[in-house]
Amino acid sequence: MKMNLKDFTWVREPKKWTIKDDVLEITTEEHTDLWQRTYYHFRNDNAPCFQIKTVGKYFSFTVKTSFKEAKHRFDQCGVILYLDSENWIKGSIEYENETFQHLGSVVTNNGYSDWATTNISAKVKEMWYRLSRREDDYKIECSADGINFEQMRICHLSKGDGVISFGVYACSPEESSFTAKFSNFDFGECQWLSHDGQQPDKE
């Protein structure tokens, strides 16, 4: 189901953004980021998030990202589920250098972030993401063509069992700025099927 971007709201509205023909553009600002404590010890919580709320327990959200201008270390944009500063999930590509980028995800539960990545070519300038929910568990997938999706992450969000907000984000943690484009916003039936195999342990 095509989404109406007028139903979305900002968490930390950026200075420069536009919506035209169902395409959202965000121009990032310097020193904007999301991270909590782990390893680096700092706490960054100032990246803009463009989100919509839902009470739905089972759904999939798909979006296409384009980041042709990303050129500085950690420039990034992607999909996000942001509840508050200490509880959120994101999936994105973070620019590293002219050779490679980090395709990965961060899950932050109760104020501690983790980061799981794989290296991909710096030539990649577009990526599709699909965020799926099954109650308080979540799955992030990526796709080069919007058709064939590959699993990036399955995770649990400790405060993600009620009303949630999800959408997209973009930021530049260091001294940089670029314009990220988001299109093909889609919301619909959960594409993450129920597990068929090993049964849960009995209490």
Distance, in Å, from the CA atom of 181 to the CA atom of 66, rounded to the nearest integer, reads 5
**Burial class (CB within 10 angstroms; exposed 0-12, middle 13-18, buried 19+) of 115:** middle
- Per-residue pLDDT of 4-41, as tens digits, reads 999 999 999 999 999 999 999 999 999 999 999 999 99
3-state SS, residue 118:
strand
Closest of 187, 67, 54, 175 to residue 130, by C-alpha: 187
Task: Kindly state the tokens that stand for 64.
Answer: 């296409």
Whether the Cβ atoms of residue 100 and residue 119 lie closer than 8 Å to each other: yes
* Domains of the chain listed by start with CATH number: 5-188 (2.60.120.200)
- In angstroms, what CA-CA distances link 140 with 28, 192, 202? 23, 10, 28
- Per-residue pLDDT of 53-99, as tens digits, reads 999 999 999 999 999 999 999 999 999 999 999 999 999 999 999 99
Can you spell out the DSSP letters for 48-75? -EEEEEE--SEEEEEEEEE-TT--STT-
Q: What is the pTM of this model?
A: 0.96
pLDDT of res. 197: 87
Phi, psi (5° rounding) for residue 76? -155, 155
Query: Following CA atoms 181, 65, 159, 37 in sequence, which dihedral angle do they give, to the nearest 10 degrees?
Result: -80
